[in-house]
Amino acid sequence: MKIQHLIWKEMRKRPTPMITSLLAVTLGVMALVAIQNIAVFSQKKIAGDMESLGANVLVLPPNASLQDYYAADMHGETMPEEFVTRLAFARLPGVENLAPKLCVETSASGQDVVVTGILPRSEYQAKSAWQGLGMFASDVGSDRGCCSTTATSLAGSDDPNSLATERTIQDLGAREVILGSLAAEKLSAKVGDELPLLGGDFNVLAVLPEAGTVDDSRVFAHLHSVQELAETGPVVNVIEIVACCEDAAGSLISNLSAELPETKIVTISQVVQTQLAVNTLMSRLSWVFFSILLLVGASSIASVMFANVTERRQEIGTLMALGASRSFVTRLFLGKAVVLGVVGGIAGYAGGTVLAIILGPRLLSVSVQPLPMLLVTSLVAATLVAVMASFLPARRAAGLDPCLVFNDA
């Protein structure tokens, strides 16, 4: 027999008061785990949404008026392509990707189409002045939200289809085009076909899957080919920036404005800010609930433990008469507190996770998975609270006069 056996058997003997305390601790942990879990996955969802949205900051010529965020390159105003170089050199924190575009309306195979000039990533790498910047794979921005996801996904994509989601493509030849799904249908073109455009012949490199955006009706060609064939000179209509959502909501816009004062910066920062604020609020609220409920749990544990000490006075006195030291008696009660904390932590984690999995999709349309890190937090916090709440009762038990075991003492 060991002290653990003594603790466990006593708890089994008197489960009712323990269940009350356990419930309070479990509820506190549940609240924390559920809200934190939903907040984390909501954050990830925002990141995913931002990623699928593509660019979240647009750099436009000063006279451009923006009617449609997704057709920001159709205003007809231009600005020098050199602005892209300036932005790249500025190495602003939060900038994950730059995608300059030039749009030209033309006809092909008797159909009106919009040809969009884009700059492939290989183009950046070819320019020695930009080499070594490491901007696309660097750990820019914070480690939360969309930044890490986006940076990782951009690091090695060379599939032409990446244009649909990442706004960039690794390679695109001077006489190659990528067709949006609707454009391909309209032009009756498929991969490998020859397509006459702007007076030049282009080979169809890929057909993008349907995205439900204006990109579906676009024909994408190399920026410099479009500039050359449309005789526009080295200009672009828009520079799309894929930015970290936190930075897009923060200092990035003012940094961009400072870097390119002669342009207009448009962002969806308000959306980002609102979503981030909700997440932050939820996260903070979860700690408030957690603290309140744990305080209630701690009070309950302390009260139950004091009652337990009173109830077990004779047993404690007997143990002392039989040779138990004060430290043994203290450990007897703190051990019980550890059991309460561990069981409460695990039960709260399990309950909170289940609650998050049920409520996440219903309240915020967020799909939630268990977060093992929260188990560690739950266990540590619940155990710490239970032990602290039991400290005084344990000290009181250890200070009992062993003479109380005698008949008329």
Partner 1 sequence: MYQLNEVTQTYHCRGKIVTALNSIDISIEDNEFLAIVGPSGSGKTTLLSVLGGMLKPEHGEVLFDGDSLYDLPLARRAQLRGTKIGFVFQTFNLVPWLTALENVQIPMMLGGFSSKQQIARASELLERVGLHDRIDHHPGELSQGQQQRVALARTLANDPQVILADEPTGNLDHETRHQVMEYLAEFHRDGRTIILVTHDADTAAFANRTLRLVHGAPHSNEALHAA
Residue numbers of the site for partner 1 (CB under 8 A)? 1-3, 5-6, 9-10, 12-13, 314-315, 317-328, 401-403, 405-409
Residue number with CB closer to partner 1 (183 or 400): 400
Contact 36, 378 (CB under 8 A): no
Specify the residue, 15 or 209, whose C-beta has the smaller distance to partner 1: 15
In whole angstroms, what is the distance from residue 151 CA to residue 136 CA?
Answer: 6
Residue 372 or 409 with smaller CB distance to partner 1: 409
**Identity of the residue, 6 or 388, whose beta carbon is nearer to partner 1 in the bound complex:** 6
Of 32 and 400, CB closest to partner 1: 400
Distance CA 186, CA 183 (A): 5
Q: Which of 193, 209, 190 is nearest to 201 (CA)?
A: 193
Residue 332 Cβ vs partner 1, minimum distance, rounded to whole Å: 11
Nearest distance, CB of residue 346 and partner 1, angstroms: 24
Q: Which is nearer to partner 1, 16 or 65 (CB)?
A: 16
Q: Which is nearer to partner 1, 65 or 406 (CB)?
A: 406
Location of structure tokens 């076909």: 193
Q: Are 57 and 265 in contact (CB under 8 A)?
A: yes
The least distance separating partner 1 from the CB of residue 11, rounded to whole angstroms, comes to 10
Instruction: Return the C-alpha torsion angle 137, 141, 147, 151, nearest 10.
Output: 0
- Cβ proximity to partner 1: between 10 and 259 the closer is 10
Structure-block tokens of residue 3 = 């002290």
Give min distance, CB of 321 to partner 1, in A. 5
Q: Shortest approach of partner 1 to residue 6 CB, angstroms?
A: 8
Q: How far is the CB of 335 from partner 1 (least distance, A)?
A: 14
155-161 CB contacts, 8 Å cutoff, 24+ apart: 160/205, 160/206, 160/208, 161/206, 161/208, 161/209
Q: How far is the CB of 20 from partner 1 (least distance, A)?
A: 19
Q: Smallest distance, Å, CB 399 to partner 1?
A: 11
Contact 400, 316 (CB under 8 A): yes
Kindly state the smallest distance separating residue 322's Cβ from partner 1, in Å: 5
Nearer to partner 1, 164 or 332 (CB): 332
